Chain A
C-alpha cells in the first residue's frame, strides 16, 4: 500500500522528464509562413489524376508568366474527411471537394466566405460529372436503366452513402429517378431504393474501393459511380472488359472549390490561391478536365468534347430535394431515409 503523498512525489519528480522527452520529440517548425511559393490543395479522393495534370500545367504556365517557381502540394481523402481536417486545423490554402454541403460546413466554421460561390466563374465549380453505370463486356444482364437494378438477378457494386459523396449522388440519382417514374410518390420511391440496396452485397466506403470490388474481385453485374471514374476504369482495367451505360435520367455531380480565408492570410498566399482556382476554370484547365472525362463548365470546351459525353436528363437537387444540406438531413443523417430502408426491413 502506498500513501497519497508518495504518489504525488512520484508524479512531480518524473513529469519534467516526460515533458523533456516530448520537447525532444519536438513540435515541427511552423509551416513556412512567409513563402508565397507553396500552396496546399486539400481535395477529394478521386481527383488525383486531374490535379496531377493540372498542377504540372499551372506550374509551367506560372513560370512562363512570372518567372518564379511554385510548388503545389496535394492531400487526397474522402470529401467530408477533408473538410473536417481543414476545420480541425489542416492548413490547406484551397479545398477542391465533391459536395457543396462540405463547403457549407467550412462556411459554418468561418473558414470560407459565405459568398464563396460568387467569387469565381461557374459558381466556383471546377467541373461536373454524372452518375453512370459500368457493366461487364457485352452487358450480359442487359442493364439499360435504373429499373434494371432492382431485378432479382442483378447484383450492384456502389459506395456507402454514409461514407462517400459518390454514394450520396448514387442514392439521390436512384431516388430522383424513381420519384419521377412514380409521379412523385415518395412511398414508392422509398420502396424502389430499398429493393435496389437489397441487391448490394458490399457497401464500400469510397469510390475507389467500390471500383476495386467490381473490377478486381468480380463482385456485381453493375458498378454505379461517376461517369469520369467509368472512363478511368476502362483505361486502368482494359476497355474491352467493360461497357458504359448512361441511364435515362441521372444526377449532376458538382465539384466545388473555395479559398480557406484564414490560411491564405496566414501564409500570404491569396494571390497564388486565386490564380490557382482561376486556372481550373480557364479554358486550359477546362480542357484538362475534359481529358480526364469530367464535363467541363466552359461552353467552348464542352462543345469541343461534346462527342465524349452522352446527353441525359438531369435531376436538380435544389428543385427536387431543396438543396444539399436539406437532402443530407432527409436522406443520410442518422434515422434518415437511408437508415429507414435498412431498419424498416427487419
Chain B
C-alpha cells in the first residue's frame, strides 16, 4: 500500500500540468510597448493580456486564447502533430522551424480543434504570431482547411482568430496556394449554411487578411490591431503618400466599412455567445409564445 502511494505520487511529479507550464513566464515583468508601463506578467496574463494602464491588447498565445473562451475541458485539438517540410529546400528553414517549436511549444502557427463556448459547440482555429510571425505555409493552410471540413461534417460554426504576417515565404508559391485552399473550403462550408466568424488580432496582414480572415459572415477585430494587405512601409515607398496615423488599424478599417465591429477582449466571450445564440438552429416553442 505504501508502495502504491509512492508510485502515484511520482506520476504526478513527472508530468507538469499545463497550468504550471503556462505559469512560468518568460519574464516576471512585462513592459507595455504602447504606454511603456512595466507590470507583472502574471497580472497581465490574468487580465487576458490587456494592459491595465492603457488598454493595449498584447498578443495572446493560442492556448491561452482557447482557455479564455472555451468551456473548461471541452477542447479537443486536431492535427496537433502536423509539421512543415521544406519543399523548396530553403536554406535554414528547418532550423528556424525547430527553434520556433522550442520557443513557442507549438508545432505550427495555428492551433485547431473543437469545443464549446458557454455550451455552444463549434470548431475553432487560433493563429499564434510567436511561430514564424504566424505566417501561412502548407501546414497552416491544411490544418485550417481540415478544421473547416470538420465543421462541415459536425454542422457547427467555424470561428477563427487570425494573427499573421501573411504567406510564408520559405514555402514560396505553395504558401500562396493555401489562400485558395482555405477560401475554397470556406465557400463549400458557407454553401452548406455554415456560420463563419473571423476575429482579426494584431497583426493580420498580407495573404491571411486577403483570404480567410476577411471571409467571415461576421468580421471582427481587436482594438488597435494592425490589419491590411500591403505593409505600411511598402506603400510609403512605392507611392510616397502621406499615411494617416491610424492607417490600417482596426479602427481605421471600421471607419472605412471593412469590419462589423471592434471588440474589446474582455467582452469577446459575451459577444460570441450572443452571436452563437442568435444562430442557434431552432428553439423551444414558437417565438410568438415568448
Q: Do chains A and B stick together as partners?
A: no
B residues apposed to A, CB below 8 Å: none
A interface residues, Cβ below 8 angstroms from B: none
